[in-house]
Copies of this chain bind each other. A is one copy, B any other.
Amino acid sequence: MHELNALFRPETVAVIGASRTPGKIGAIVVSNLVSAGFKGKIFPVNPAGGEIQGIPAVTDICDLPGPLDLAVVCVPPKAVLPSLEGLASVPVRAVIIITAGFREVGREGYFLEEQVVKLCREKNIILLGPNCLGLINTENGLNASFAAGQPPHGGIGFFSQSGALCVAILDWALGEGLGFSKFISLGNKAMLDESDMLEYLRQDAGTRVILGYMEGVEDGQAFMRQALFAARVKPVIMMKSGSTSAGARAASSHTGAMAGSDQAYQAAFHQSGVIRVADVETLFNLAMAFSSQPLPKGPNLAIVTNSGGPGILAADACERSRLMMAALRGQTVEQLSAFLPSFASLYNPIDIIGDADAERYEKTLEIVLQDSQVHAVMVLLTPTASAQVEDTARAVVRCAQKSGKPVFGCFMGEKTVASGREILKKGSIPCYAFPEAAIASIDAMYAYSLWREKSPSAEVCWLRDKYKAAKIFEQARGRDMHEVVEFEAQGVLAAYGLPIPETTLARTSDDAVAAAQKIGYPVVLKIASPQISHKSDVGGVAVNLATEEAVRRAFLNITSRAQRVKDAYVMGCLVQAMAPKGSKEVIVGFSRDSQFGPLILFGLGGIYVEILKDVSFRLAPLTLGDAHEMIREIRSFPLLRGVRGEPPVDFRAIEDIIMTMSQLALDFPDIYEADFNPVLVGEHGALIADCRFSLCRTDKC
């Protein structure tokens, strides 16, 4: 039995701070418990005694019969801790603290909350809240909340960090008649958070769709894991608000400068199969679609309409989505032509014209739904003079129930069509006022079905000499440095089997000439100094050096310029072979997100990476599929694939580097940021021409 059952399926519930005064939270909670039809035992606790909602009140917590499953606490903040101590001795297995005035109100409340959590952990009490609305389980009639109303029973499991969103969504659900299985207000998330809800709702048979609103998570990796587990079983639809500026945190690498918190969330949702929505309206629309219709088995949509204009709108929206306009089979077109009027359009969108009655809709739908080329159907209706709004709605419901394919309604307008929409909703057909919203919902369902079909990627095992790399980082640390100098960084790359150009550290111009002769002209010279990270900014790079004289002059120029950089310790210059001609520059990097860990970046490289910001992100650990997608997601991917007869670059080589970057980030938690920039990738193979590792300062990691 799941330990959260004490919370969701209690047999005994005490209300601490129960009240007789109408409108008080302590009164609403008891009244909600009673009126929602909770079958277990309710114990209102109030020092004044007497009866509350017809139930005799217990005057002291110590008088409660133990052990209790659940206590709902709505006493003032100062009384919470004493109440909990009393409850611990009863004992109680779970508490919901509705009371506000904790972390959200500042320092004092923060410490109070800390004490509450400490006590609950010590006494093994499960804690929801504080500062929350409570929770509702429609299956057993448990309404342990001060919400104004009980949502209808249904398949949506909902949790929200914001109590106000809970209130608004409940009110909306009551208006729309949408059904919920569980309804949870998380409040301050002192103990239970989104990850716990995902874990519970995944296993909850009554929940077919998980819906959530969040502002942020503490443990991003735990969240991702639970989200992924849940999304493999049922759709998880989340809204995340509170966008923070990427610039808010100091970053010394390119990757760090571009990797904002929202990129990490975006990657987390994407990689765990969560359907992210940008606004509350879409949250509602998708909840309606996913909770009432089966997933489409393919992309092909048929649109049945009684008017041309809205049909075009829908087809436009379809074209912009992942869906396709279904090409009807010849047999279907023949069957339709047998009874539709001659002006009707037999091709998709199937326009059965403005004088269509319910019967024409029904016949058309029956035929279209039987077409094996059709995976989903949208029924469009505008309230023409001939439209039979309610009968048509009933026909749609009948056809959908018979077919087993997903069917969606879009009854445009408001006054005339309202009753038709009601009938559709009661018949579990999601109905939208606008074709675009309907298409977006079907598209999201199709995308989720695609994701579900993807088999989890195989693990990849990489050859690496972690010990050798660790030693190099230790040395850098020993010198109290936060930047690993390039020459050493290349040692790390070598240890991880990454492709690096032949490089020699030259401490004098004679060294440089000797190295150039050994490598072969032309060569590149780069400044070697741990304090100088953006080498070209200070004139620290010279390319295409073809003669001994050029090498010597470049060495002196570069080092003398570097001497002028404040506090820069100049070790000399690195001498490298020139990159092969025609190769493209890309960047691979990572930065460490405080919630989600290593956020890997891929993008078009060179000095313009920060300008065009044409990059993609994923969270480590990566699958090969992730690396594959990252490369193909950037806008300039066609450049890598080759234009005008150019051969494509070596994608396998880039994938190797991305995967190894992910591994490095996981192997060494004290690397704060890393950039391989540029990575030169040609038709065969790639070369990491420059790389940087920043180590964590003690105040950062």
A interface residues with partner B (beta carbon < 8 Å): 23, 25, 28, 105, 146, 148-149, 160-165, 167-172, 174-176, 213, 215, 241-243, 278-281, 306-310, 312-313, 316-317, 319-320, 343, 354, 382-385, 412-418, 433-437, 536-537, 607-608, 610-612, 635-636, 638-639, 643-645
Q: Residue A167 contacts which of B105, B319, B383 (CB distance < 8 angstroms)?
A: B383
With known contacts A312-B242, A316-B242, A612-B635, A383–B417 Cβ distance under 8 A: no
Say whether B418 contacts A308, CB under 8 Å. Answer: no
Q: A172-B412, A281-B433 are in contact. List 15 more A-B contacts (CB 8 A).
A: A25-B385, A161-B309, A162-B308, A162-B312, A164-B307, A164-B308, A171-B413, A171-B414, A215-B309, A241-B316, A242-B316, A536-B644, A537-B644, A610-B643, A612-B638
Q: How many angstroms between the C-alpha atoms of A175 and B312 in the bound complex? A: 24
Q: How many angstroms between the C-alpha atoms of A172 and B243 in the bound complex? A: 34
Say whether A171 contacts B417, CB under 8 Å. Answer: yes
Chain B nearest CB from A437 CB (Å) reads 7
Which 9 residue pairs spanning A and B have beta carbons closest together? A162-B309, A175-B414, A171-B413, A164-B307, A168-B412, A279-B436, A175-B415, A174-B415, A164-B382
Residues of chain B contacted by A278 (CB below 8 angstroms): 436
Residues of chain B contacted by A418 (CB below 8 angstroms): 175
Chain B nearest CB from A274 CB (Å) reads 18
Chain B nearest CB from A349 CB (Å) reads 12
With known contacts A280-B435, A414-B175, A168–B639 Cβ distance under 8 A: no
Q: How many angstroms between the C-alpha atoms of A243 and B168 in the bound complex? A: 37
Q: How many angstroms between the C-alpha atoms of A536 and B435 in the bound complex? A: 47
Q: Residue A383 contacts which of B160, B171, B241, B280 (CB distance < 8 angstroms)?
A: B171
Chain B nearest CB from A533 CB (Å) reads 13
Q: How many angstroms between the C-alpha atoms of A451 and B106 in the bound complex? A: 44
Chain B nearest CB from A675 CB (Å) reads 16
Residues of chain B contacted by A312 (CB below 8 angstroms): 162, 215, 241-242
Q: How many angstroms between the C-alpha atoms of A413 and B149 in the bound complex? A: 12
Say whether B309 contacts A213, CB under 8 Å. Answer: yes
Say whether A383 contacts B343, CB under 8 Å. Answer: no
Chain B nearest CB from A305 CB (Å) reads 8
Q: How many angstroms between the C-alpha atoms of A153 and B215 in the bound complex? A: 44
Chain B nearest CB from A257 CB (Å) reads 13
Q: How many angstroms between the C-alpha atoms of A308 and B165 in the bound complex? A: 9
Q: Residue A23 contacts which of B169, B279, B385 (CB distance < 8 angstroms)?
A: B385
Residues of chain B contacted by A241 (CB below 8 angstroms): 309, 312-313, 316
Say whether B316 contacts A385, CB under 8 Å. Answer: no
With known contacts A319-B243, A383-B148, A537-B644, A309–B436 Cβ distance under 8 A: no
Among A280, A635, A643, the most chain B Cβ lie within 10 Å of the Cβ of: A280
Residues of chain B contacted by A384 (CB below 8 angstroms): 148, 164, 167
Chain B nearest CB from A360 CB (Å) reads 16
Say whether A167 contacts B307, CB under 8 Å. Answer: yes
Say whether B385 contacts A28, CB under 8 Å. Answer: yes
Chain B nearest CB from A149 CB (Å) reads 8
Say whether B608 contacts A639, CB under 8 Å. Answer: yes
Say whether A165 contacts B436, CB under 8 Å. Answer: no
Say whether A105 contacts B343, CB under 8 Å. Answer: yes
Chain B nearest CB from A206 CB (Å) reads 23
Q: How many angstroms between the C-alpha atoms of A259 and B237 in the bound complex? A: 38
Say whether B319 contacts A168, CB under 8 Å. Answer: no
With known contacts A436-B279, A436-B280, A171–B416 Cβ distance under 8 A: yes
Can you list 8 A-B contacts with CB-CB less than 8 angstroms, sorted by A residue number? Answer: A161-B309, A164-B310, A164-B412, A165-B310, A171-B413, A171-B417, A172-B414, A213-B309
Q: How many angstroms between the C-alpha atoms of A148 and B165 in the bound complex? A: 38
Residues of chain B contacted by A160 (CB below 8 angstroms): 309
Q: CB-nearest residue of chain B relative to A353?
A: B100
Among A171, A435, A437, A610, the most chain B Cβ lie within 10 Å of the Cβ of: A171
Residues of chain B contacted by A306 (CB below 8 angstroms): 164
Q: CB-nearest residue of chain B relative to A305?
A: B164
With known contacts A172-B414, A608-B639, A611-B636, A163–B309 Cβ distance under 8 A: yes
Q: CB-nearest residue of chain B relative to A161?
A: B309
Say whether B413 contacts A644, CB under 8 Å. Answer: no
Say whether B611 contacts A643, CB under 8 Å. Answer: yes
Q: CB-nearest residue of chain B relative to A608?
A: B639
Q: How many angstroms between the C-alpha atoms of A242 and B314 in the bound complex? A: 10
With known contacts A310-B162, A312-B241, A385-B28, A168–B281 Cβ distance under 8 A: no
Chain B nearest CB from A476 CB (Å) reads 27
Q: How many angstroms between the C-alpha atoms of A149 and B312 in the bound complex? A: 25
Say whether A414 contacts B164, CB under 8 Å. Answer: no
Residues of chain B contacted by A417 (CB below 8 angstroms): 171
Chain B nearest CB from A540 CB (Å) reads 13
